[in-house]
Amino acid sequence: MIREWKKLREETLAKGYGKELRKTIFLDPKGKEVDFYLYGQKNWAIILPLTMKGEVVAIRQYYQGANKILLTIPGGDLNSVNEKPEDAIKRELMEETGYLCQTVERIGETPLWPSTRNSWAHYWTFIGLEAEKKKEQNLDQFEEIEIETIPFKKWIELCETEIEDNCAVTATFRALGYLKRNNLLEKYLP
């Protein structure tokens, strides 16, 4: 029978730019103390915004962990533990792209973990429908973002072969299920 481990204590080893590395000591089911090094950050949300023409509002920006410029979809941190993921993603979409969606729906009942073994952080996935450009970007000091609209069918092909951001791929997969359940698949994938 599988049993949970007990967290005994933890120590912050490094902290900066909203990230943290901790040494965490667990007691395993056999009674042995085991060290794990866990990392995390603020929880975040990501959105697959679709225009009325059936295009994904995608972004390109430099990602330090990958050390390269990646094509992905908008997303960002919740500003506080009290900020709702729905509010955070609407704010982030507007800041990063200047787009507003008529409909924003969470896809998936539970948040996702980017690394279940190594991180306590988690994120939510959203779909945005009828995205329209409303104003100019309002970027953070460390952001340089290019916006690109890509036909949804092409975006799905890119997710199967070239998109390297696992959060974007997961949001796309969940979005397909949402569109199918709501009889919207043909509208966005003619």
- Per-domain residue ranges for the chain? 6-40, 44-188
Identify the pLDDT of residue 39. Answer: 95
> Is the full-model pTM beyond 0.75?
yes
Report the 10 Å Cβ neighbour count for 111.
15
Q: In this structure, which amino acid lies at residue 176? A: L
Encode pLDDT of 15-43 as tens digits: 998 899 999 999 999 999 999 999 999 99
Average pLDDT, the chain: 95
- Residue 96: pLDDT band (50, 70, 90) is very high
- How far are the Cα atoms of 1, 45, 48, 75 from residue 130, in angstroms, in the given order? 48, 19, 11, 17
Q: What is the pLDDT of residue 142?
A: 83
Phi and psi at residue 138, to the nearest 5°: -135, 85
Q: What one-letter code names the amino acid at 18?
A: G
Angle made by CA atoms 176, 103, 142, in degrees to the nearest 5: 85
What is the share, in percent, of the chain residues with pLDDT greater than 70? 100
100, amino acid identity: L
Residue 140: is its pLDDT beyond 90?
Answer: no
What is the model's pLDDT at position 72? Answer: 98
pLDDT digits (tens, 9 = 90+) for 151-188: 999 999 999 999 999 999 999 999 999 999 999 999 99
Burial 62-81 (b: 16+ CB within 10 A, else e): eeeeeeeebbbbbbbbbeee
Q: Which CATH number fits domain 44-188: 3.90.79.10, 3.20.20.140, 3.30.750.24, 3.90.1150.10?
A: 3.90.79.10
- Average pLDDT score over residue span 37-50: 96
User: What does the DSSP 8-state code read for residue 67?
Assistant: T
| Per-residue confidence (pLDDT) for residue 171, from 0 to 100 | 97
Q: In this structure, how many other beta carbons lie within 10 angstroms of the beta carbon of residue 33?
A: 11
